[in-house]
Amino acid sequence: MAAVAQTTPLSRILWPALAWTIALIFFFPIFWLVFTSFKTDADAVKPEHLFFFTPTLENYANMTENYDYWRFAINSVITATFATALALVVGVPAAYAMAFDPSRHTKDILVWMLSTKMLPAAAVLYPMTFLTKNMLGLFDTHFLVIVVLCLINLPIVIWMLFTYFKEIPKDIIEAGKMDGVSTWGEIKDILIPLAWGGIASTALLTFIFCWNEAYWTVRLTTIDAATLSKLIEGNRAPEGLFFGRLSAVSTAAVGPIVVLGWFCQKQLVQGLTFGAVK
Amino acid sequence: MKSLFNTVAAVAVATTGATAVSAQDLTIAIVNNGHMINMQKVAEAYTAKTGVNLNWVALEEGVLREQVTSDTATGGGQYDIINIGMQEAPIWGAAGWIEPLNFSAGYDVEDILPAMRAGLSHNGTLYAAPFYGESSMVMYRKDLADAAGVKIRNNDSWANVKGAAMAMHDPDNGVYGACLRGKPGWGDNGAFITTVANSFGARWFDENMKPQLDSAAWNEAVSFYVDLLANYGPPGSEGNSFNEILALYNQDKCGLWIDATIAASFLENPNVAYAQSPNAGNPVGANWLWAWAMAIPAGSPNADAARDFIEWATSKDYVQAVGNHPDFGWGSVPTGQRASTYDIPEFKAVAGFAAAEMAAIDSAAPEATDLKPYVGVQFVAIPEFPEIGSAFGQEMAAALSGAKSVEDALAAAQAAAVSIMDEAGY
C-alpha cells in the first residue's frame, strides 16, 4: 500500500504563502500600471506620491481627447477576431489531417511549421514592406493585418489542435467513415463537438496573441488599420516623463483582453495545461 | 462555413478599399514628445482655416526612424510629412529621399538659427525645417554648489566640473555629484561621450574616414567620463539616459546634470542654475546640436500641401499661436529653431533657461572642420553611424560597469567601426 503524504502545519502555511507571494509578484506590474494611470505625469515619478496622491482621470480624458482610442480599439477587435477565425478555418482541417491521417512526413511538417517561429521578424521587415506596399498595395489595411496575424499564429494553432485531436480515439472517426460520413461531415459533426473545449482554448489563446502582437501591427500600418499596440507605441517618449499618460493608454489597451481572460480563465488554464498531466 | 468565408472576404474587400485618401488629407509621422503632441491641438486652427485634414501618427523615436526609413527606402507614399532629426536630414537630402524645401518670402528663413540651418541642409539646400531644436548644457543645483563652496562657470574646465561633482557628492543623503547618460545607444551614452571626446580633441574619423577610436585623445576622454560617473554618479548609471536622469534630478538626487537644453523646461527644483558645456581647451567644445525637423518624403502625392503645412508649423506665427493658445501659453512654445522666439518678452519672462539655451545652440558647430572632418557634433552624418554608434555605446556601457577596461572597450569599438566602414566601402 502506497504511503499517503502527510501535510505538516508548516507546509500548510508555507505552500499557500509561497503561492500567494508568486501570484502577487506576477500581478504587481498590472496593479502598478493601473495604479499609475490615475496619477498625473508629475506625481508618477515622485517618491512622496508613490502610494499617496490625488487620483485623477486626466490621463484617460487626454487619451480620448488627443487620440482616437476607439478607432484603435475597433481595429484591434476586427483584426484579432478575424485573424483568429481564419487561423481556425485553416488550422482545424490541417490538424485533423495530421492527427487522423498522418503520413511519414507529418512530424517533419509539424517541426518545420514551428521552426518558422524562430525567424527573427526584423530580418524580413524590408521585404515585407516592399511586398505589401509596392507590389500588393495592401499596406495599412485590415486585410493585411488579419492575414499576417493569422500566419504568425498558425503554427501554434495547428500544434495545439493537433495535440487535442490526438486525444480523441481514432475509432470514433473511423466509425463515422464506416457509416459513410464525408470528411467535412467528420470534422463538423464528430470532431468539432468532441474537441470543442480544445478548439475554444486555442481560439482564446490565439485571440490574445493577436491582440498583443506589436511588431508587425506597428510596422505594417499607418492610420486605417492601426491597432492598440500602435497607440501604446506612440506614447513612449524618450525625452519626457509621461508615465501617467502611458499607463492610462496601456491600461485601456490591455483592459479588454484581461476582462476576456478573466471570464474565460477555466478554458485558458485547460488550454495551457492540456497534456501536462495524464 | 461558407458564410464565414463570405464574411472574411467582405471585410477584406471593405477594409482594403478604405485606404483611399482624399487630396486634402495629410498624414504626418511625428515623434512623441510634448511639443509634437501640443501641435496636434494647435493645428486644429490650420485645418479650420485651410480645410486640410491632418492625420497624426505618433511613434516612439526608434520605431519612427525604422518605419520612416523603410517607407522612404521603398519609394515613400506612407507619409506626407515626416519628423526627422539632424542625423538623417543631410544624408537623406543627398540621397534624394526627401524634397528640398523652398518657402515663400514671408517665411523669413534667415530667422532660423544658423546652426540649425547648417545642420539640416546639404550643399546649402534646406531639406528639413526645424520644429524645435536643442543643444546641451550644464544644469546644476545652485543651493548644493553654494553650500559646498564651488562654482561652475560657462565653458568651465572638466577638472573644475569634476571638482564640483566631488564637492556636491553626498551618497549617504541620496545626492550624487554628477548624473550623466550611461545607457547604451548612439543617441544615449554615445551622444554624451562624443561631446566629451570632441572637447578633448578626439574625433571619430580622420580625413579619409578611417576610425580613430584608438587614439590617445579618446582614451583620455573616456577614462575621464568613466572615472567621473563611476565615482560621483548614481549607482546603475549604465542604465540611465534622459528620462531616468530627469526623474533622479526631480527627486533632488543629482548635483549636476549635463544634457539636452530641453530638460530645463522639465526641471522642478527652483534652485537650478545653468552653465555652458565644459571644455578641455579644444575649440570644438562639448555642446551638441539636435533638431526635430519636418521634411517631405520624395514621392509624396501631396507635396505642395505638405510644404504649406510645414511653412505654417515652423513659422513665427506658429510660435505666437502656441503662446496665445488657452491650453498652452508661452512656457510651452517650441524653442531652439528661430532667433525671433528669444526676443518675445512673454517667452523670456517664463523661460529662465532661454539665454543659456540660445547661447548653447549658437556656439554648436555641426559643420566639418579640419579638427573634425565630418558633419555633426554628437554624431557623424553618414548612414553607417547608427550601427557604429550602437556598437560603441555597448562598449562604453561595459567600460562604465567595470565589465571591460577603457582600453579594451575602445579597442572593441574601433574594431567594430573599422569592420562596418570597410564593409561600406570607405
At A53, is the secondary structure helix, strand, or coil? Answer: coil
- The residue with greater pLDDT, A166 or A273, is A166
Name the band, by pLDDT with cuts 50, 70 and 90, for residue B307. very high
Measured between alpha carbons, how far is A275 from B115 in angstroms, rounded to an integer? 66
Q: What is the dihedral of CA A117, A121, A126, A127, to 10 degrees?
A: 0
Measured between alpha carbons, how far is B162 from B138 in angstroms, rounded to an integer? 12
Q: Which residues of B touch A45 (CB under 8 A)?
A: 247, 250-251
- The residue with greater pLDDT, B122 or A117, is B122
Question: How large is the average pLDDT for residues B173-197?
Answer: 95
Among A222, A229, A241, most B C-beta atoms within 10 A, so best to mutate, is A222
- The residue with greater pLDDT, B426 or B180, is B180
Name the band, by pLDDT with cuts 50, 70 and 90, for residue A49. confident
A256 secondary structure, DSSP code: H
* CATH, residue B280: 3.40.190.10
A6 secondary structure, DSSP code: P
Question: How large is the average pLDDT for residues A259-263?
Answer: 86
pLDDT over 50 at B10, yes or no: no
Residue of B nearest to A219 (CA): B67
Least confident span in B11-25, B111-125, B269-283: B11-25
DSSP A179-240: TT--HHHIIIIIIHHHTHHHHHHHHHHHHHHHHH--HHHHHS-SSTT--HHHHHHTT--SSS
Q: What is the pLDDT of residues A91-104, one digit of tens each?
A: 999 999 999 988 89
At residue B412, the pLDDT reads 97
A149 secondary structure, DSSP code: H
Name the band, by pLDDT with cuts 50, 70 and 90, for residue A17. very high
pLDDT over 70 at B231, yes or no: yes
The answer to whether residue B59 sits within a structural domain is yes
pLDDT over 90 at B12, yes or no: no
Measured between alpha carbons, how far is B60 from B36 in angstroms, rounded to an integer? 12
pLDDT more than 90, % of chain A: 46
Tell whether B178 and B299 lie within a shared domain.
Answer: no
What 3 state SS string does chain B have?
A: CHHHHHHHHHHHHHHHHCCCCCCCEEEEEEECCHHHHHHHHHCHHHHHHHCCEEEEEEECHHHHHHHHHHHHHCCCCCCCEEEECCCHHHHHHHHCCECCCCCCHHHCHHHECHHHHHHCEECCEECCEEEEEEEEEEEEEHHHHHHHCCCCCCCCEHHHHHHHHHHHCEHHHCEEEEECCCCCCCCCHHHHHHHHHHHCCCCCECCCCCECCCCHHHHHHHHHHHHHHHHHCCCCHHHCCHHHHHHHHHCCCEEEEEEEHHHHHHCCCCCEEEEECCECCCCCCCCCEEEEEEECECCCCCHHHHHHHHHHHCCHHHHHHHHCCCCCCHHHCCCCCEHHHHHCHHHHHHCCCHHHHHHHHHHCCCCCCCCCCCCCCCCCCCCCHHHHHHHHHHHHHHHHHCCCCHHHHHHHHHHHHHHHHHHCCC
CA distance readout (Å), B227 to A105, B218, B222, B407: 61, 14, 8, 13
A86/chain B closest Cα distance in angstroms = 8
Measured between alpha carbons, how far is A112 from A18 in angstroms, rounded to an integer? 40
At A118, is the secondary structure helix, strand, or coil? Answer: helix
CA distance readout (Å), A237 to A77, B158, B357, B379: 26, 31, 21, 21
At A126, is the secondary structure helix, strand, or coil? Answer: helix
Q: Which residues of A touch B68 (CB under 8 A)?
A: none
- How do the domains of chain A map onto residue ranges? 27-273
Boundary-marking domain end, from B305, B324, B350: B350
Tell whether B97 and B186 lie within a shared domain.
Answer: no
B165 contacts B370 by C-beta, under 8 angstroms: no
CA distance readout (Å), A252 to A65, A192, A231, B183: 14, 34, 10, 30
Put simply, whether A218 touches B (Cβ < 8 Å) is: yes
Q: Tell me, which fold does domain A27-273 have in CATH?
A: MetI-like fold (1.10.3720)
At residue A5, the pLDDT reads 58
B294 contacts B83 by C-beta, under 8 angstroms: yes
- Cell reading at A107: 512530424
Least confident span in A85-99, A120-134, A218-232, B144-158: A120-134
At residue B23, the pLDDT reads 52
Measured between alpha carbons, how far is B317 from B319 in angstroms, rounded to an integer? 5
B408/chain A closest Cα distance in angstroms = 30
pLDDT over 60 at B86, yes or no: yes
B262 and A235 within 8 Å at the Cβ level: the answer is no
Question: How large is the average pLDDT for residues B96-103?
Answer: 92
Question: How large is the average pLDDT for residues B367-385?
Answer: 88
Nearest to A142 among B11, B79, B247 (CB): B11
Put simply, whether A143 touches B (Cβ < 8 Å) is: yes
At residue B81, the pLDDT reads 94
Among B7, B28, B74, most A C-beta atoms within 10 A, so best to mutate, is B74
Tell whether B175 and B73 lie within a shared domain.
Answer: no
The answer to whether residue B418 sits within a structural domain is yes
The answer to whether residue B363 sits within a structural domain is no
φ, ψ of residue B126 in degrees (nearest 5): -80, 125
Tell whether B172 and B231 lie within a shared domain.
Answer: yes
Which of B265, B322, B314 is CA-nearest to residue B131? B314
CA distance readout (Å), B259 to A238, B246, B263, B301: 13, 10, 7, 39
The half-sphere exposure of A210 on its side-chain side, counting CA atoms within 13 A, is 32
B4 and A47 within 8 Å at the Cβ level: the answer is no
Residues 6+ apart with CB under 8 A from B405: B399
pLDDT over 50 at B13, yes or no: no
Question: H helices of chain A, where?
Answer: 9-37, 41-44, 58-66, 69-100, 106-115, 125-129, 142-166, 170-178, 183-185, 192-194, 196-212, 215-219, 228-233, 243-263, 265-273
Tell whether B269 and B376 lie within a shared domain.
Answer: yes
Widest CA span in chain B: 82
Q: Which residues of B touch A241 (CB under 8 A)?
A: 243, 246-247, 250, 266
The answer to whether residue B358 sits within a structural domain is no
At residue A275, the pLDDT reads 52
B78 and A133 within 8 Å at the Cβ level: the answer is yes
Q: What is the pLDDT of residues B311-327, one digit of tens each?
A: 999 999 999 999 999 98
Measured between alpha carbons, how far is B376 from B191 in angstroms, rounded to an integer? 11
The half-sphere exposure of B162 on its side-chain side, counting CA atoms within 13 A, is 16
Q: What is the pLDDT of residues B333-351, one digit of tens each?
A: 999 999 999 999 999 998 8
At residue A6, the pLDDT reads 64
The answer to whether residue B7 sits within a structural domain is yes
Q: What is the pLDDT of residues B213-225, one digit of tens each?
A: 999 999 999 999 9
Residues 6+ apart with CB under 8 A from A67: A231, A234, A249, B58
pLDDT over 90 at B270, yes or no: no
Tell whether B143 and B195 lie within a shared domain.
Answer: yes
Tell whether B344 and B373 lie within a shared domain.
Answer: no
Domain hosting residue B252, numbered range: 135-287+368-423
Mean predicted lDDT score pLDDT of chain A:
87
Tell whether B213 and B193 lie within a shared domain.
Answer: yes
B305/chain A closest Cα distance in angstroms = 19
The answer to whether residue B361 sits within a structural domain is no
Tell whether B170 and B208 lie within a shared domain.
Answer: yes
At residue B372, the pLDDT reads 85
Q: Which residues of A touch B242 (CB under 8 A)?
A: 238-239
Q: What is the pLDDT of residues B14-52, one digit of tens each?
A: 444 444 444 589 999 998 777 888 898 899 999 999 999
B275 contacts B140 by C-beta, under 8 angstroms: yes
Taken in order A8, A13, A14, A19, is the CA torsion positive or negative? positive
Measured between alpha carbons, how far is B196 from B204 in angstroms, rounded to an integer? 12
Residue of A nearest to B65 (CA): A219
At residue B18, the pLDDT reads 41
Tell whether B256 and B402 lie within a shared domain.
Answer: yes
Residues 6+ apart with CB under 8 A from B297: B68, B71, B72, B76, B77, B79, B80, B82, B97, B98, B99
**Which of A117-126, A229-238, B220-229 tops mean pLDDT?**
B220-229
pLDDT more than 90, % of chain B: 68
The answer to whether residue B83 sits within a structural domain is yes
Domain count, chain B: 2
Question: How large is the average pLDDT for residues B111-138?
Answer: 93
At residue B17, the pLDDT reads 40
Put simply, whether B78 touches A (Cβ < 8 Å) is: yes
- Cell reading at B230: 563611476
Mean predicted lDDT score pLDDT of chain B:
89
pLDDT over 90 at A125, yes or no: no
Name the band, by pLDDT with cuts 50, 70 and 90, for residue B184. very high
Nearest to B16 among A138, A230, A235 (CB): A138
Tell whether B317 and B387 lie within a shared domain.
Answer: no
Measured between alpha carbons, how far is A266 from A270 in angstroms, rounded to an integer? 6
pLDDT over 80 at B374, yes or no: yes
Least confident span in A42-51, A91-100, B306-315: A42-51
B243 and A146 within 8 Å at the Cβ level: the answer is no
Tell whether B211 and B150 lie within a shared domain.
Answer: yes
- The residue with greater pLDDT, B32 or A61, is A61
Q: Which residues of A touch B59 (CB under 8 A)?
A: 218, 230, 233-234
At A2, is the secondary structure helix, strand, or coil? Answer: coil
User: What value of ipTM does the predicted structure carry?
Assistant: 0.72
Measured between alpha carbons, how far is B342 from B351 in angstroms, rounded to an integer? 9
At residue B77, the pLDDT reads 78
